Every structure is written in C-alpha cells, then in structure tokens.
Amino acid sequence: MLVNCVAYQEGKKLADIPKEAISDYLKRPGCFVWVGLKDPVPAELEEMQEEFDLPGLAVEDARHGHQRPKIEEYGDSLFAVLQAVEMRDDDLHVGEIDIFVGPNYVLSVRRDTERGFADVRARSESEPDLLMHGAAYVLYALMDKVVDRYFPVLEALESELETVEEQIFIRNTARSNIEALYALKRKLMTLKHAVDPLMEAVGKLYGGRVPRICAGMGEYFRDVFDHLQRLHASIEGIRDMQTTAIQVNLGMINLNETEVTKKLAGWAAIIAIPTLIAGIYGMNFKNIPEYDFQYGYPLSLAMMAAVDVGLYFWFKRIRWL
C-alpha cells in the first residue's frame, strides 16, 4: 500500500505527487522523491524498482523480508534493513523496515508494524536546512526514529525484571519466577538481535570509508551509533542482572528444600522418642523394669510428652520448626 509519495527540492516540499510522475521529478536538478510503502505486494515493489532502478538483490530481500539488520552499498545507492521492535500484549513483536536510498530518492518499506513515520516526515519538513542534505538526511531521520523506539521497550523490560526481583523472596513463587525470568531472557535476545547487527552496520557510515551518498553526514550517523551503544550496554546490564536473579531464585529453592528437610528431621525425632519407649515396653520379656509398677503407664506417657515438648521447643529455638 502506498502511504506517501512526496517530492522535495532544496530542503522544501514541492508537492504530493502521483507515483506515475516520479520519473519526471527525478530528472529535476536538486530534487528528490520520498516514497513510503506499507506491506507492499510484489507488483508494487516491481513498480518502484522500475521507477528508481533499484538493485535486484536488494528488492529480493525486501520482497521476502525477515532479514538481519544490515546496510549494503550498491554503487551510488544504499539498502538498509532495520527491525521495528514493539511491545504488544506484554510480548515483543518484530517488524521490518527496508530503506532504499539513492542520490535523488528514498523508498521506505515497512512490514508487520503499525507505527509509521509521519512524525519523521513532519520533523524533516520543519527543518529545511537539514533536509537540504537530501536523501542521506532522510535515511538518518528514519534510522534515528527506529532506534529511539527501542528505548521504551528497554524500559519495559527493566520494569519486568524489577517486578520479578520483588517476588523472589516470597514463598511459593519459585516456579513462576523462573518462567518469568526465562521469558524476559527471550525478549532481551530479541532486542539484542535488533541492536547489535545494526550497531555494526551504522559504524561504517561515519568512520573510515564512508559511502559517497552519506558524505558530510558523519556526525548524525555517529549520534545514532552512540544511541545503539547505550542500548547495547543497557541490554548487557539487564542480562547480567537477570542471570543473577536466576541464581538467587535457584538459591531460594535450595534454601526452601533445606528448610523442609529440617522440619521433616525435627518431626521425625519428636515421633521417634515415643516410638522408642513404646517399643521397649512392647518387648515380650517377663522381667522388664517397672513392668509391675502401678504408675508405670502414666509415667511412660509423661516421659514421652516431656521429651517431645523439650525437643519441640529446642527445634523451634534453632529454627528447624
């Protein structure tokens, strides 16, 4: 679906144009065209390929989707793949943003994501001095917006970890804590797979041999790289805390098992004393001390009770019961 098709010249918007007029505007000096597509069908991509003379391999990647974040150079053009990570119903949803950039065009294709880039277009049009950089600035603005949308996701994952940490020392929550921690680990890896490859790719846009189309935009792409570095460091920090939380949770499970073992041992000792005394007096021998004693039976019961009460309070004192 075609979302926008706009022509710009010298940092200012000329007009919303029909897609049939794209080739006419591409011929104008100092003019570039920015087209936005959402979940396009193959025919729409083929049409844009003809209009902009897009690289065949890049179009094939955009058609099939599910690509690893990357930036590839094709002569005077670039093809960038970014992952749009969104929080939906307490789970992460991953979409894809494909961006074709040439000297006089930008084609952005988004798949499986509802959040568009109307705010990016509005921001760019409100800054004509920056928009004069042309297609390279639009590439930066789109990448910057995608990366900025990672931060709320990261904050949500941090909140999840804090919630689980508060539950660790509550009894009978060990299983649910482990499930929550492993679910968090899966989400962190999803975000990490979106951030790390992109960080590696963006590093090539401002240092060393910079693609010609990005010349003069190094400081902007370095800003995106800095944001990705912050995200990477935060993800690694949360992963370390999550690993520690798992270890603490497992330690609490072992501690609870030890407490149960102590209780069982304590009650076994309390039950063993009466069993021992009753067992002795139940032996079939004629000459047993106190066998004919008038108060032998109540005395035996009193002895059992006294010993058990003494053991009970002693075990309570040492926290076995």
Task: Give the residues across from 98 on adjacent strands.
Answer: 81, 109
- Alpha-carbon torsion 6, 9, 12, 14, what sign? negative
| Nearest in space to 278 (alpha carbons), one of 253, 243, 305, 259 | 305
| Nearest in space to 201 (alpha carbons), one of 80, 76, 65 | 80
Q: Which region among 50-59, 98-107, 228-237, 260-269 has the lowest average model confidence (pLDDT)?
A: 260-269
| Nearest in space to 17 (alpha carbons), one of 30, 36, 1, 40 | 36
Residue 172 pLDDT: 76
Residue 141 has pLDDT above 90, yes or no: yes
Quote the CA–CA distance of 145 and 36 in Å, as a whole number.
15
> Considering the entire predicted model, what is its pTM?
0.79
Same fold across 1-147 and 253-317: no
Pair 104, 26: CB distance under 8 Å: yes
Q: Grade residue 90 by pLDDT with cuts at 50, 70 and 90.
A: confident
pLDDT tens, 10-48? 889 999 999 889 988 998 888 999 999 999 999 999 999
Domain boundaries, the chain: 1-147, 253-317
For domain 1-147, the CATH class is alpha beta
253-317 has which CATH code? 1.20.58.340
In 3-state terms, what secondary structure has residue 32?
strand
Residue 78 pLDDT: 93
Residue 300 pLDDT: 73
Quote the CA–CA distance of 146 and 74 in Å, as a whole number.
23
SS3 assignment for 240-281: HHHHHHHHHHHHHHHHHHHHHHHHHHHHHHHHHHHHHHHHHH
Quote the tokens at residue 277: 């005394």
Residue 295 has pLDDT above 70, yes or no: no
- In a 13 Å sphere around the CA of 182, the CA atoms on its Cβ side amount to 7
Quote the CA–CA distance of 11 and 136 in Å, as a whole number.
12
